[in-house]
Structure 1
Amino acid sequence: MAANPTTQGAPLKLQKKQVWTLSGAHLFNDLMTTGIVPALLPLYKEEFHLSYIGVGFIVLASYLTSSVMQPLFGLYTDRHPKAFFLPLGVTLSGVGLSLTGFAPSLPWLLIAIAFSGLGSGAFHPEASRGAHLASGPVKGMAQAIFQVGGNMGQALGPLMIPLFLFATGVQGLRYFIIPSALIGWMTFRILPWYRRRIAEERSKAREITGKNQPLGLTLLVIVVILRSFAQISLSGFLPFYYLHHHLSLNVAELFTFLFLAAGALATYVGGTLSDRFSKKQLVLASVALAIPFAWLLPHLSGWMAAIDLFLLGFTILSSFAVTVVYGQMLLPRNIGMASGLIIGFGVGAGGIGATLLGVVADRYGIPFIFDLIVWLPVTATLISIFLPSDAKKATPVA
């Protein structure tokens, strides 16, 4: 195992201020994209008179630009780090969502959603690299703090519906321009530190003892895709599922929040455990333990369903930060690309899969979707068995 990163011979410690700043920016970024956009789908559906297929196009536009583009941004910034992508990306993600409040038709709505997604795609690889540079010896904990921000942003999205948007309608999204500028400024303040750390890492001549393992990373990305497919399908279709069962949209969005908040808590727990335990075993346990809760979900209601949703969110998302660190260890020579593939392509491909379920829902109904979802963690469990061991991997470099 490579030595801990150093500056002028002294071991680096976890840079809490920088990690928490990146986590806060991650919270806002994901609130503007993967958090509030799925929660807004019922309002978009009503405002623009959409079918479930039309709703799926909104999800597709968001995930294609925000997630699938991330590996390309990561590949480019591995060779040419772009510090300004941090404030620029998070600002654009908020401004793009704000523009949906002005959209007169579905095509303009999709353009605004795509604009927001591109900002998110530019932000994530650099922000994940920043968390890595600020981590010192605790890679898992730093990624856990960073990823918890994003997961909390996703969880808070549904709460924005009853607390804010019901009073203003879709037009109320225009006001997100103001916090977008504030978060951009907050992220801009850490750029001197970020540029300095990039220069320090680039100036070091230490040998990278680990080799890229593309096959292992491919298997890991497939597991992430299946996990994300399940997560995004649940968070996107839960409101429609409970509306189908004659619950109010307020209650349906609160159930969605419970599922995603449990995932945010689990992200921190799993990330901290990854500094001490096998990442492969944590990923395997995460998807395997989610199977019974996914199977039970369509058969429960009331407080039993709430408990099941919490446990499902906790188990299936407990490997979120783990897979980022694991991916960086499997691709130690390309940190940005590894982060983009795990956080971006893996999540985005899962989003595309969830989009296809819109076609299934239009034909067979929402309840049928929840009978299908259980097979996603089952398949992920089988693939996880063949992931490479992480017993001895080199610490990656930026």
Structure 2
Amino acid sequence: MSSSSNTKRRPLLKDFHLPESSVWKLSGAHVLNDLMTTGLVPALLPLYKAAFHLSYIETTLIVLVSYITSSIIQPISGLITDRHPFVWLLPIGVFCTCFGLAISGIVPNYALLMVCIALSGFGSGAFHPEASRATNLAAGENRGLTQSIFQVGGNLGQAVGPLMMPLFIITLGLHGLLWFLIAAILAFLLTWWVLPRYKQQLQKGEAKKAVAEGKHSRVGIILLVLVVAIRSWAQIGIVSFLPFYYLEQHIPLGTGDMMTFVFLFAGAIGTLIGGTISDRIGRKWLLMGSMILTIPFAWLLPTMHGLNAGVDLFFFGFFILSSFAVTVVYGQMMLPNNIGLASGLMIGFGVGAGGIGATLMGWIADHYAVSTVLDFIAILPIIAAIITFFLPNDKKLVRSRLK
């Protein structure tokens, strides 16, 4: 066996600059951050709707505020911290995310609820670009895998969110959200423990950035943001409206939450596998393949019931979210000197567009039916797959940086 062969078989984590514990702490903080936003906020909509006597469009405005505040702050935060990194955004941001949602359980009116949701969204927007930068420093040659470890944390947080409903919320009411003040403290500690090592690696990263080469692909980043936004519309559409769809069919809320968990948990598995595969076959082809493979499961969903629906949702979530980490790395490759901005666009602006989609789908549900929302979601992967065809080849992006 040659030495070169042995080198190829070395463990993937050997190339990390940050210790493995830092990567997993960032991923753990990501679990708590996304649990409080994309995990719990959509799952809480039926309870918010009942508590404040809201229409569908007023209810989905909660998602819009959560997503838009995060969407607006992430690219701005990323652009600023690309020039002047502020490592304390890690613990401060994730603390505000958890704290804002926790106190939303005790507010007396809809306006204050929106303030709490906005605080949580701004915290998430501050956390993500800095956390993605730290993860990027940890990547070595396995950027897809490393980013997947970080993003799987967020996906797990989203998946676990609906399962928290019977544990805390339905039993204790909205006041049960106060228990998540514990999560705010834990998230702060997880990111605070990473700071010393992150500061050291950041100094090395800035030294490398000064001599970085490569052209930015502005058209490519715009098209990629569109794909991420469309994917986000599909994801938030399932998470927000699937429970309502089952309620209209007189199926208990817990069943809808369990189906949502299946969708998001499968997405977490897909994120890890997709990121790993993309290191080998390329980001463009992984992204295009994931969208094409999603199409039949999106079309079949409205016709499925019971166990068949669970199986369909598993593959739907697996394929459409398998590109989650891939698009972050892909965006960073298109903006090699603006890692924070790229991360903010991919995780923030693109994903935050899901809030706009949720409001549109709320309008569709109010004027037509919730089942029409599922029909609308079915066409989204087709549009995303077509746009992906026009994206630049990521292997050519790498070659251009090496010239």
Answer yes or no: is 1:158 the counterpart of 2:162: yes
CA distance in 2, matches of 1:168, 1:192: 39
Aligned partners of 1:36 and 1:203: how far apart in 2?
Answer: 40
Relative to the length of structure 1, the TM-score reads: 0.95
Question: CA 1:99–1:161 in structure 2 vs 1: closer, same or farther (change >3 Å)?
Answer: same
Change over 3 Å in CA distance of 1:205–1:379 after alignment to 2: closer
Separation in structure 2 between the aligned mates of residue 373 and residue 117 of structure 1, nearest angstrom: 24
Partner Cα separation in structure 2 for residue 175 and residue 330 of structure 1: 41
Contact 1:324–1:343, Cα closer than 8 Å, also in 2: yes
Question: Residue 11 of structure 1: CA displacement?
Answer: 7.0
Worse-matched range after superposition: 364-373 or 203-212: 203-212
Q: Which residue identity is paired with 1:229?
A: W
Contact 1:283 1:384 in 2 (8 A): yes
User: Is 1:183 the counterpart of 2:154 in the alignment?
Assistant: no
Instruction: State percent identity of aligned pairs.
Output: 55
SS in 1 for 2:224: helix
- How many angstroms does 1:207 deviate by? 3.0
Moved more, 324-333 or 174-183: 174-183
Partner residue in 1 for 2:285:
281
Encode CA deviations 1:115-151: one digit per residue, 9 max, x unaligned. Answer: 0110000000000001011122211111000000000
In the TM superposition, what is the alpha-carbon distance from 1:14 to its structure 2 partner?
A: 6.0
Q: 1:248 aligns with which of 252, 259, 270?
A: 252
The structure with the largest helix share of the pair is: 2
CA shift for structure 1 position 69: 2.0
The normalised TM-score by structure 2 is 0.94
Query: Does the 8 Å contact 1:74/1:338 carry over to 2?
Result: yes
How far apart, in 2, do the equivalents of 1:361 and 1:206 lie?
A: 51
Q: 2:203 and 2:26 mapped to 1: Cα distance? A: 19
Work out whether residues 209 and 394 of structure 1, in 8 Å CA contact, stay in contact via their aligned partners in 2. no
Corresponding residue number in structure 2 for 1:339 = 343
1:303 aligns with 2:307: yes
Deviation at 1:204, TM superposition (A): 3.8
Q: Residue type of the partner of 2:135?
A: A
- 1:214 equivalent to 2:218? Answer yes
Q: Out of 108, 131, 152, which is 2:112 matched to?
A: 108
**Equivalent of 2:373, from 369, 374, 387?**
369
Structure 2 unaligned segments of length 5 or more: list them: 1-13
Using a 3 Å threshold, how does the CA distance of structure 1 residues 52 and 257 change in structure 2: closer, same or farther? same
User: Quick check: 1:155–1:261 contact (8 Å CA) kept in 2?
Assistant: yes
Change in CA separation of 1:249 and 1:220 when aligned onto 2, cut-off 3 Å: same
> Which position in structure 1 is the counterpart of 2:203?
199
Matched residues in 2 for 1:94 and 1:357: separation?
27
Tell me the SS of whatever aligns to 1:374. Answer: helix
Residue 351 of structure 1: CA displacement?
Answer: 2.0
Q: 2:131 aligns with which of 127, 132, 143?
A: 127
Contact kept, 8 Å, 1:290 with 1:312, in 2: the verdict is yes
Question: Is the 2:35–2:158 contact (alpha carbons within 8 Å) kept by the matching residues of 1?
Answer: yes
Q: Is the CA contact (8 Å cut-off) linking 1:15 and 1:135 kept in structure 2? A: no
Residue number in structure 1 paired with 2:48: 44
2:87 partner amino acid: A
Distance 2:44 2:212 in 1: 45
Report if aligned partners of 1:15, 1:136 keep a CA contact under 8 Å in 2.
Answer: no
Q: CA deviation at 1:15?
A: 2.9
Unaligned runs of 5+ in 1: 1-9
Q: RMSD between aligned alpha carbons? A: 1.5
